[in-house]
Amino acid sequence: MKSINLKNSNLTHSSFSFANLQNANLQGANLKEANLRGANLQGANLQGANLQGANLQGAYLQGANLQGANLQMANLREANFRGANLQANLQEANIQEANLQEANLQEANLQGANLQGANLNGALM
């Protein structure tokens, strides 16, 4: 599924566990409560996507664009967001032990988010 175009698709409750979605266009997609555990989303465009309650545990999102995305209550534990644009809604998200090195978190809503053990080295806050 590398470089697939799923722009504005309704993928609610879908399972993409361990899928290769590198450079995929998921702009504006509805991925509410989707299972993306361990998925490769490197360089993916998730701008404005709805990932509320989604499971992205251990997912690889290096360099991904999540600007304006809704990740409220999402499981982002151990995910790799190195260099990603995370100017998104991360309210009450589980971001424990995630790699946020060099990620852009400016204007991100982190209210109630759990960042315990997350690597924030070089992150823009």
pLDDT digits (tens, 9 = 90+) for 26-79: 999 999 999 999 999 999 999 999 999 999 999 999 999 999 999 999 999 999
Per this entry, what is the length of the chain? 125
Q: Please give the Cα distance from 84 to 47 (Å, whole number).
A: 11
pTM of the full structure: 0.95
Q: What is the mean pLDDT of residues 8-36?
A: 98
The answer to whether 115 and 94 are in contact (CB under 8 A) is no
Residue 41's pLDDT is what?
98
Residue 89's pLDDT is what?
98
pLDDT tens, 94-125? 999 999 999 999 999 999 999 999 999 999 99
Residue 3's pLDDT is what?
81
DSSP state of 88: S
The answer to whether 25 and 43 are in contact (CB under 8 A) is no
| Residue 2 confidence (pLDDT) above 70 | no
29 is written with which tokens?
Answer: 């997609």
Q: How far lies 49's CA from each of 26, 95, 98, in Å?
A: 7, 18, 20
| Residue 1 confidence (pLDDT) above 60 | no
Q: Please give the Cα distance from 62 to 4 (Å, whole number).
A: 17
